[in-house]
Structures are given as C-alpha cells and as structure tokens.
Amino acid sequence: MKLQILGAGCAKCVLLEQHAREAVNELGIEATVEKVTDIGTIAAMGVMSTPALAIDGTIRSAGRVLTTAQIKALISGATFIPR
C-alpha cells in the first residue's frame, strides 16, 4: 500500500504526514508514506487544495488534515470517514 501526502510542506501537510504514519503503525500494516511537493504533480493528480491524501494513487481527502482515526478508516476500506 502506498500513501501519498500532497502539499508544499506547510504545517498542515506535516501534520497530515504524521497522522498517516501513526495510522500505518497502529494498524501494523506494510505501507509506504511518500511526500509529494511538486506542484505540477499535485495538479496532475487533480488536487486544487492541500494538504491532500492519496491511497494507492486515489485521492481520498483534500483541503483538510485528517485525524489518525480517519486515515485508519480509509486504509481499512471504510467509505464513511468518522469525524
């Protein structure tokens, strides 16, 4: 599994990356967490608001910082993201 954090490196992007890493660790799964900071790549993925989270190449969230629990739900395949 590959999680991508899309954003220029602002504080919210850093926090989203931290939450993604925590979610992977808490679930005990094998996954890579990658930072994508290139604006061209971010735009090509269809993201207009950062930070954004992509899981296996699919944008799952944009414009907000998800909690660790919300990311765990997305990784587990939930269609509803808990608040």
What residues act catalytically? 10, 13
Going through 1-83 in order, the beta strands assigned E by DSSP cover 2-6, 32-36, 52-55, 58-62
How many C-beta neighbours within 10 Å does residue 32 have? 9
How many C-beta neighbours within 10 Å does residue 34 have? 13
